[in-house]
Amino acid sequence: MSTHRILIAGFGGQGVQFAGRLLAHVGMYVGKEVSYLSSYGPEMRGGTSNCSVQISDKFIASPLVLEPTELVVMNGPSLEKFEKTVVPGGRIYIDSSIVAKPAVRSDIEPHPIPATALAEEMGLGRLANVIFCGYLIKKLDLCPLSALPAILKEVVSAKRPELLEGNLQALALGFSM
Amino acid sequence: MARKVLAKGNEALAEAAIAAGCRGFFGYPITPQTDVAAYMARRMPQVGGVYVQAESEIAAVNMVMGAAAAGARALTSSSSPGISLKSETISYLAGCDLPAVIINMQRAGPGLGGIQPSQADYFQATKGLAHGDFHLIVLAPYSVQEMADFMVLAFDLADRYRTPVMLLGDGMLGQMMEPVVFPEPVKTLPEKSWAVTGTKGKRPPNIINSLYIQPDELETLVLERYKRYEAIQREETRFETFFADDAEVLLTAYGSTARIAKSAVLALREKGVKAGLFRPVTLWPFPQEALRQAAAAAEYVLCVEMSMGQMVEDVRLAVNGAKPVHFYGRTGGVVPSPAEIIEQVTRIREGS
């Protein structure tokens, strides 16, 4: 495995940071080197949010992802801002229920997923972010579905055990797509 | 084996401080280190410690001084502009021989500057944080694990040498998450017979003071303190080398920039360029002799920093003209990339 450099971007409140932490935990759980870095710059204060996650067999240098191999975009502005940064041959995962425009580049692999609409349809509320996580875990072959409940317990607050079930369903949904 | 958890750098610092027996945290919020204070606000009451959000940075460090005088392991944390405000009292801590730990998660300056990572406080931390003849021990972690480990080390060194210790990180180290194994909680803390804890009528009072009107008396005290600094230089100088043994191109970098330099070393090796890294772990004492030796076999040294060139002066002093010392830096909160370092190496080879 080479290094997965994952950039997740969207509006504040879409669970961008949670998704990043979840993926980093998955990487740690399967014994990879991992890093996670949340944006804390001025853009955060403007309502958008992004985070960098790396999962690798090798030592991770800078935790900042400037040229992602995987880009998850959950809103329009993020597509415009980050599509150009993806490495050629990289993948772009777009919430097609929120972002009207498709990716324009032809040298990257588009994965349009109507995650927000799917989450609402399945009664999973605002768990579009976790659907993306399940999809990436499968796509990047990070770990089997059966390993996810244990990992999720590490990430979901111990004070909110009622959230586990929905998160698991969302992960399984993304994983099975 | 102890359990690995995914932790944010700032939170790892705070949790490790508690493991080190710190029960007094006095802070004031400033990006990008506010998580340290936020974490302490929650954790300190759980472990029977004291958390105070002071009315200012200056008040916070003076509370540290009070707690340290009473023998407690005390901590304050800030980022660049806040450290400038604390500087006067840090000189008093040194002048009173008080152990304490100060965290600086650097952001870009000067002035209010920006909130993104920087290493432009190297001069301040290692050369002249405030008035008077004194040094701080300055530890420069480069991973979340080292943030945790060095926090315990910082308290141990502070107590052993009765000196303030600075943990010098940056916004990136503070904000990033990595797997970390937390140090075991310290069970017994060193005795502090000098602390002002009340005489109970049984002993002469201890006095913590930095005012000495008689020049001879003050000179003697400063000379004694410098004897301790010599011991620190002898015993506590720390560094790491990475592919340095046969390196023709020797990079020097500390903190998060050293991570990027390591990545550049690996990429250069893949291209057939014999590159290596020398990473100072203590910035004071600076690993001068070790660097001189590491540079002896290299063709040249390239110092990389997130500043306009500060540590490079210590690198030049250590190399002492034996080899060319080049510099590459980004500033203002811009983080250099491995590709930029590789480009510099190529340029130097082509002589441009």
Query: Which residue in B11, B177, B260 has the most chain A C-beta atoms within 10 A of its own C-beta, making it the best mutation to test that interface?
Result: B177
Topology given in CATH for the domain delimited by B240-350: Rossmann fold (3.40.50)
Confidence of residue B140 (pLDDT cuts 50, 70, 90): very high
Q: Which of B321, B6, B267 is nearest to B148 (CA)?
A: B6
Whether residue A61 and residue B262 make contact (CB cut-off 8 A), yes or no, is: yes
Q: What's the rounded Cα separation, in Å, for the pair B162 and B155?
A: 10
Query: Which CATH number applies to B4-235: 3.30.110.60, 2.40.50.100, 3.40.50.970, 3.40.50.2300?
Result: 3.40.50.970
Q: What is the pLDDT of residues A108-164, one digit of tens each?
A: 999 999 999 999 999 998 999 999 999 999 999 999 999 999 999 988 877 788 889
Q: What's the rounded Cα separation, in Å, for the pair A136 and B310?
A: 43
Q: What is the ipTM of this complex?
A: 0.91
* Chain position carrying tokens 């990006």: B31
Domains of chain A: total: 1
Tokens coding B296: 């002896």
In sequence order, the 6+-apart residues with CB closer than 8 A to the CB of A7 are A50, A51, A52, A53, A65, A68, A70, A71, A72, A82, A85
A61 pLDDT exceeds 90?
no
Residue B234: CB atoms within 10 A of its CB come to: 9
Tell me how close the Cα of B320 comes to any Cα of chain A, in angstroms. 30
Whether residue A63 and residue B172 make contact (CB cut-off 8 A), yes or no, is: yes
Q: What's the rounded Cα separation, in Å, for the pair B316 and B313?
A: 5
Contact at 8 Å (CB) between B264 and B344? no
Contact at 8 Å (CB) between A70 and A136? yes
Q: Is A104 on the interface with B (CB under 8 A)?
A: no
Q: What is the pLDDT of residues B69-119, one digit of tens each?
A: 999 999 999 999 999 999 999 999 999 999 999 999 999 999 999 999 999
Q: Is A17 on the interface with B (CB under 8 A)?
A: no
**Which residue of B115, B177, B260 is in closest CB contact with A62?**
B260
Q: What is the pLDDT of residues B251-289, one digit of tens each?
A: 999 999 999 999 999 999 999 999 999 999 999 999 999
**Residue numbers of the domain that contains A114:** 4-175
Residue B131 per-residue DSSP state: S
The CATH number linked to A14 is: 3.40.920.10
The HSE-up count of residue B128 (CA atoms within 13 Å, CB side) is 2
Beta bridge partners of B36: none
Residue B337: CB atoms within 10 A of its CB come to: 18
Q: Which residue has the higher pLDDT, B3 or B184?
A: B184
Percent helix, percent strand, percent coil in chain A, to nearest 5: 40, 20, 40
Q: What is the pLDDT of residues B295-345, one digit of tens each?
A: 999 999 999 999 999 999 999 999 999 999 999 999 999 999 999 999 999
Residues in B whose CB is inside 8 Å of some CB of A read 4-6, 31-32, 115-116, 171-172, 175-179, 256, 259-260, 262-264, 266, 335, 337-338
Tokens coding B281: 């772990």
Tell me how close the Cα of B267 comes to any Cα of chain A, in angstroms. 11
Tell me how close the Cα of A117 comes to any Cα of chain B, in angstroms. 31
Confidence of residue A106 (pLDDT cuts 50, 70, 90): very high
- Within chain A, how many helices (H) and strands (E) appear? 7, 6
> For B114, which residue in chain A has the nearest alpha carbon?
A41
Domain ranges of chain B: 4-235, 240-350
Tokens coding B216: 């001879």
